[in-house]
């Protein structure tokens, strides 16, 4: 799997093309916003009938990352399920799959704004996790340092082969990294949006996910950098 290596708080990390973050020195794999059960939740609330395959697709990709990295610890940065009922109503085969992935390793569920963490599936459930020199939480906090978070589902646009393509992306600077959503049925917030632009420093980069990662200056930041006189 291709990836982009960078440092945060003196820690070597890799933004992987899958959307997962790899901390090799601690054998820790981090994913955010799986949103398992989203199609079921939308149908339950009377919304559009989406093909109910996103949970399987998300688990296939998560399984592949675990097989590739062999992590001792997996951290899910919140919104692992689309809501509490989706966690309770997870299909039996998906429960068995997750149980297999969790076996033999430390598994951390961080609370998100969509769910409090799937308490019936085992693992450790936390509001946030300090793991010096980094800290892991669902939503970024202004002024934080060494912070790893998710929530915003960032995406950025790049021109390739004569056309403009939007992809999920990591955003990182000297203070933090914000992960893309790992789940299959997840939208995204453009990196030019105010909420993200205000969090990130002028030197921030975007790492666009996919078969070949692309690293670019974070769109929307350069225009806000004061001009030298």
Q: What is the pLDDT of residues 177-187, one digit of tens each?
A: 999 999 886 67
Contact 138, 113 (CB under 8 A): yes
In this predicted structure, what is the pLDDT of residue 37?
Answer: 67
> What's the rounded mean pLDDT across residues 197-210?
95
Residue (of 54, 55, 44) closest to 95 by Cα position: 55
Give Cα separations from 81 to 76, 107, 141, 178 (angstroms).
Answer: 10, 15, 22, 19
Strands 154-160 and 189-190: parallel
> What's the rounded mean pLDDT across residues 201-220?
94
In this predicted structure, what is the pLDDT of residue 41?
Answer: 46
Q: What residues does each domain of the chain span?
A: 3-224
Confidence of residue 95 (pLDDT cuts 50, 70, 90): confident
> What's the rounded mean pLDDT across residues 130-135?
97
Residue (of 195, 152, 209) closest to 19 by Cα position: 209
Confidence of residue 128 (pLDDT cuts 50, 70, 90): very high
Confidence of residue 84 (pLDDT cuts 50, 70, 90): low
pLDDT higher than threshold 80 for residue 174: yes
Give Cα separations from 124 to 5, 6, 79, 99 (angstroms).
Answer: 28, 28, 15, 13
In this predicted structure, what is the pLDDT of residue 149?
Answer: 98
- Please give the Cα distance from 229 to 221 (Å, whole number): 19
- Please give the Cα distance from 109 to 79 (Å, whole number): 9
User: How many residues appear in the chain?
Assistant: 229
> What's the rounded mean pLDDT across residues 72-89?
78
The pTM of this model reads 0.88
- Residue matched to tokens 């090799």: 24
> How high does pLDDT run on average in the chain?
86
Q: Kindly give the residue spans of alpha helices, DSSP state H, lying in 27-91.
A: 38-44, 54-69, 84-88
Q: Which residue has the higher pLDDT, 189 or 131?
A: 131
pLDDT higher than threshold 60 for residue 169: yes
Confidence of residue 30 (pLDDT cuts 50, 70, 90): very high
In this predicted structure, what is the pLDDT of residue 114?
Answer: 67
- Measured in whole angstroms, the distance separating CA 141 from the mean position of its chain's CA atoms is 16
Residue (of 151, 145, 123, 149) closest to 132 by Cα position: 145
Contact 62, 98 (CB under 8 A): no
> What's the rounded mean pLDDT across residues 176-205?
90
Confidence of residue 224 (pLDDT cuts 50, 70, 90): very low
3-224 in CATH: which number? 3.60.21
Cis peptide before 92 (omega within 30 of 0): no
Phi, then psi, of 208 in degrees rounded to 5: -80, 130
Q: Which residue has the higher pLDDT, 16 or 116?
A: 16
* SS3 call for 149: strand
């Amino acid at each position: 799997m291709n990836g982009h290596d960078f440092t945060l708080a003196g820690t070597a990390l890799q933004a992987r093309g899958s959307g997962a973050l790899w901390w090799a020195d601690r054998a820790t794999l981090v994913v955010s916003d799986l949103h398992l059960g989203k199609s079921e939740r939308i149908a339950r609330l009377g919304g559009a009938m989406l093909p109910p395959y996103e949970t399987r697709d998300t688990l296939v990709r998560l399984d592949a990352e675990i097989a590739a990295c062999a992590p001792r610890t997996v951290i899910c940065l919140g919104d692992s399920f689309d809501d509490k009922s989706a966690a309770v109503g997870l299909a039996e085969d998906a429960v068995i799959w997750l149980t297999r992935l969790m076996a033999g390793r430390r598994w951390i569920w961080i609370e998100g704004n969509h769910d409090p963490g799937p308490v019936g599936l085992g693992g450790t459930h936390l509001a946030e996790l300090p793991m010096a020199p980094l800290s892991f939480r669902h939503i970024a906090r202004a002024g934080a340092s060494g912070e790893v978070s998710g929530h915003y589902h960032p995406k950025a646009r790049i021109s390739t082969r004569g056309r403009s393509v939007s992809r999920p992306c990591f955003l990182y600077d000297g203070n933090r990294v914000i992960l893309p959503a790992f789940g299959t049925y997840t939208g995204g917030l453009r990196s030019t949006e105010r909420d993200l632009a205000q969090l990130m420093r002028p030197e921030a980069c975007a790492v666009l996910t996919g078969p070949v990662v692309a690293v670019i200056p974070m769109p929307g930041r350069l225009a806000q950098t004061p001009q030298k006189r």
